[in-house]
Chains A and B, each alone.
Chain A
Amino acid sequence: MGTTNEPCIICDDIAIQRGDTTIWSHGTFTIPRGTVTAIVGTNGAGKTTLLQAELGLIPLSHGTMTVLGGAPGTTNGRIGYVPQSYTSEIDSSLTAEQSVLLGLTGTRFGFHLVSRAQRSKALEAMEFIGISDKAHLRLSELSGGLRQRVAIAQALVSDPELLMLDEPLANLDLASQRTTVHILRKLNRELGMTIQVVAHDLNMLLPILTGAVYLLDGHPHYARLNEVLDSKLLTHLYGTEVQVVTTPQGDMFVMPGLDDLDPGIRDMHDTRELARSHQHAKHTTTHHTHTQTGR
């Protein structure tokens, strides 16, 4: 995919205003290609706004942004976008295949019949996502999880370099969440696709994340994974007590405050230890520290 080594997103002191309200400001960060980035923050922090700014749908009120080497909005043909709307109850009689095809044909004016090449391209995308057996079912007959996979296939069919997903795990059951994460991992590892995910809950995504943009105090920041997974930072971020927890097997969890739980059940770590246990998950015997040391 990415033929150049230039970063996927470059932001220089960006800000967004709606009316007189500044949604966020002073965003200066660079997201490399081939990464999987979560966009995290509380409700209303402007996570979706960041995606919309990257797509050029909302103008920046300050600063400059480069997306895949161009101004926002000029490179959308190389971006796959999966909004959150698939979760709403839909009444569409369209088949999964028809919906995926719109990802290829939907922007063309004039009357064109769907070509054989377009059809096989759509099938290829559905096979990659594992829904080719659902091609001829109507969207209204599919579960929320499957509809979301159709939406991912629709975004995928035009071979994007960057895939953006808005809350892809919200309203999905555990199995569907896991499937979605597996698909994202496959897209990133096998196709080298850069992925951005707006998320409330980091836990399901932790195994594949390389970094996160966190919207804190009205400013977007970017950090690599081992930097962002800090209890103090996350507590500040969500405005409620959050702790980063590692199990003896090396799996990490982000948990709400554990005041009521016996600390012996959980092993809590500061950031540096987390980074180590993340790297050596299989060999490390975890330390047992019950105090949080600051950064």
Chain B
Amino acid sequence: MQPFTYDPQWMETLTAPFMANAFLAGLCIACAAGVIGYFTLARSSTFAAHALAHIALPGATGAVLIGLPVFFGMAGFALAGALVIASLGKRASEREIATGTVLAFATGLGLFFARMSSSASQQLQAILFGSILTVTKDQIVGFAIFDVLVLLAIAAVYRPLLFSSLDEQVARAKGVPVSLMNVLFLAILAGVITIAVPAVGTLLIFALVVTPAATATMLTSTPLRAILLSTALCLVSIWGGLVLSTMFPAPPSFVIVTLSTLFWASAKAWQTMHGHRR
């Protein structure tokens, strides 16, 4: 086995129709993940992002088991998980224990469903690690519609959501519907995770939703700039991952996650050298 091979026909592969789909999917995922990633950090909800991806797993394998599209199962489970997490309230320690327990159970359940049918078993690896090259035109239309809805929703609640994320007690006193903001945030997060799973899978999703946002907040200090930079970093990771994994054949998920991590590590190093403390 050669770990680093070079494919001289990479330009041809890159211009294949399935690649065009992958690039479009990447664009849709980056727009949604960049926006929600910033709020995930501002609300200290990174664990919820990680958990929702795992809670979606039995939805995915269960859907395959009963012959439904993977997307519906994932969206249903992630949304239900989001509502459960929202109802768990604010006390972080209790919430995280409950969330973690559900996460572990859901992952086990996902495995159980997968073992019950051979087709679900075959799809398990794609769900866990992503398969951006198999995204279809129909899926992309769905992603694009979802993106428009997310961006409209965020634009409508932008400042109250920001206020309730950063100063929850003051926001509540000033009349911001804090609980509604929490449910809305988690519902959008569940949706973003559902559409981002095809790119990198449930196990690596953290690197697309949280990591670019963390990198962006190290480098910028206004929310809007952080969101734009986070989206750009997410996009560069996915597109760069697609190009590099075509030139040097490797699983795209691996290269995408590697790029995202490299950006984060570079920003961290830059921050340390410039003496910013976090």
Contacts and interface: CB of A to CB of B under 8 A. Distances in A.
Say if A and B assemble together.
yes
Interface of A: 55, 57, 76-77, 79, 81-83, 85, 91-95, 98-99, 102-103, 105-112, 136, 138, 140-141, 151, 154-155
B158 interface: yes
Contact of B276 (A83, A107, A110, A141): A141
Q: Which of B41, B167, B220, B276 has the most CB of A within 10 A?
A: B167
A81 B159 contact: no
B213 to A, nearest CB: 10
B44 A91 contact: yes
A141 B274 CA distance: 13
A165 B34 CA distance: 36
Interface string B154-189: 011111101100111111111110000000000000
B157 A109 contact: yes
Given A82-B170, A94-B222, 13 more contacts: A57-B173, A81-B174, A93-B218, A93-B220, A93-B221, A105-B159, A106-B159, A106-B160, A109-B159, A111-B158, A138-B276, A141-B277, A154-B170
Interface in B207-229: 217-218, 220-223, 226
A131 to B, nearest CB: 16
B166 A92 contact: yes
22 contacts: A55-B173, A77-B175, A81-B169, A81-B173, A81-B174, A83-B170, A83-B173, A85-B167, A91-B44, A92-B42, A93-B226, A94-B221, A95-B221, A99-B166, A103-B170, A106-B163, A107-B159, A108-B159, A109-B160, A112-B159, A140-B278, A154-B170
A79 B173 contact: yes
Contacts of A98: 221-223
A155 B169 CA distance: 12
Contacts of A91: 41, 44, 278
B276 A109 contact: no
Given A107-B159, A107-B174, A140-B277, A93 B169 contact: no
Contacts of B223: 94, 98
B162 A106 contact: yes
A105 B41 CA distance: 21
Contacts of B174: 76-77, 81, 106-107
A76 B44 CA distance: 27
A151 B169 CA distance: 12
Contacts of A107: 159-160, 163, 171, 174-176
Q: Which of A93, A94, A154 has the most CB of B within 10 A?
A: A93
How big is chain B's contact interface, by range? Answer: 20 to 34
A83 B217 CA distance: 25
A86 to B, nearest CB: 9
A155 to B, nearest CB: 7
A154 B167 contact: yes
Contacts of A105: 159
Minimum-distance CB pairs A-B, first 10: A106-B163, A93-B217, A83-B169, A111-B155, A81-B173, A95-B221, A55-B173, A102-B163, A107-B174, A105-B159
A160 to B, nearest CB: 11
B79 to A, nearest CB: 23
Contacts of B169: 81, 83, 85
B43 to A, nearest CB: 11
B38 to A, nearest CB: 9
A95 B159 contact: no
Contacts of A92: 42, 166
A110 B161 CA distance: 11
B168 to A, nearest CB: 8
Nearest to B176: A107
Q: Which of A98, A99, A154 has the most CB of B within 10 A?
A: A98
Contacts of B217: 93
Contacts of A79: 173
A109 B220 CA distance: 24
Nearest to B44: A91
Nearest to B221: A95
A83 B276 CA distance: 27
A94 to B, nearest CB: 6
Given A76-B175, A77-B174, A109-B157, A94 B166 contact: yes
Contacts of A81: 169-170, 173-174
A14 B44 CA distance: 37
B220 to A, nearest CB: 8
A55 B278 CA distance: 33
B70 to A, nearest CB: 34
Nearest to A108: B159
A197 B168 CA distance: 20
A102 B222 CA distance: 12
Nearest to A105: B159
B205 to A, nearest CB: 21
Nearest to A73: B175
